[in-house]
Structure 1
Amino acid sequence: MTTVTLPEKTPAHTGRTPGRPGRRGVQPLALNIVALAAGLGGWALLSLLGFEDLPGPAQVAARGGEMIADGTLLDDVAASLRRVFSGFALGTLLAIPVGFLMGWYGVARGLIEPYVQFFRTIPPLAVIPLAIVLLGIGETPKIFVIFLAAFLSSVVATYQGVIDVDKTLINAARVLGASDLTVFVKVVIPASAPFILVGMRIGLGSAWGTLVAAELIAAQEGLGFRMQQAQLYYDLSTIFVGLITIGLLGLAMDRLLLLAERRLTGWQERR
Structure 2
Amino acid sequence: MATVRKDAAAPAAREAAVTGKGPVPPGKTRSRTRRSTLPLTIGSGLLGLVFWVVLANIGIQGFPGPLEVAERAVTSIGDGTLLGDALASLRRVLTGFVLGVALAVPVGFLMGWYPVIRGLIEPWLQFFRMVPPLAIIPLAIVLMGIDETPKIFVIFLASFLSSVVSTFQGVVSVDSTLINAARVLGAKDRTVFTGVVVPASTPFILVGMRIGLGASWATVVAAELIAAQEGLGYRMQQAQLYYDLPTIFVQLIVIGLIGLIMDRALLLAERRLTNWQERR
Q: TM-score, normalised by structure 1?
A: 0.91
Corresponding position of 1:114: 123
Q: 1:14 aligns with which of 15, 18, 28?
A: 18
Structure 1 counterpart of 2:200: 191
Residue 149, structure 1, aligned to residue 153, structure 2 = no
Q: Structure 1: which 4+ aligned runs deviate by more than 2 Å?
A: 9-13
Unpaired runs of 5+ residues, structure 1, are 1-8, 17-23
Deviates more, 1:44-53 or 1:81-90: 44-53
After TM superposition, give the deviation of residue 27 of structure 1 in Å. 1.7
- How many positions carry a matched residue from both structures? 256
Tell me the distance in 1 between the aligned counterparts of 2:14 and 2:107.
Answer: 49
1:193-214 deviations in Å (ceiling 9; x for gaps) = 0000000000001101111111
Q: Specify the alignment match of 2:87 in structure 1.
A: 78
Name the structure 2 match of 1:208.
Answer: 217
2:9 corresponds in structure 1 to none
Please, which of 29, 37, 47 is the counterpart of residue 28 of structure 1?
Answer: 37
The residue type equivalent to 1:14 in the other structure is: V
Task: State whether structure 2 residue 137 is matched by structure 1 residue 128.
Answer: yes
Letter in 1 for 2:59: G
Q: Deviations over 1:64-117 (max 9, x none)?
A: 000000000000010000000001000100000000010000000000000110
| Structure with the bigger percentage of helix | 2
Structure 2 CA distance for aligned equivalents of residues 187 and 212 of structure 1: 39
Q: State the TM-score, normalized to the length of structure 2.
A: 0.88
Identity %: 69
Q: How many angstroms does 1:13 deviate by?
A: 2.3
Q: How far off is 1:52 after superposition?
A: 3.0
> Secondary structure at the residue paired with 2:207?
helix
Residue 53 of structure 1 pairs with residue 57 of structure 2:
no
Alignment partner of 1:37 is 2:42: no
In the TM superposition, residue 134 of structure 1 has moved relative to its aligned partner by 1.4
Cα drift, residue 152 of structure 1: 0.5
Contact 1:75–1:222, Cα closer than 8 Å, also in 2: yes
Unaligned runs of 5+ in 2: 1-12, 21-31
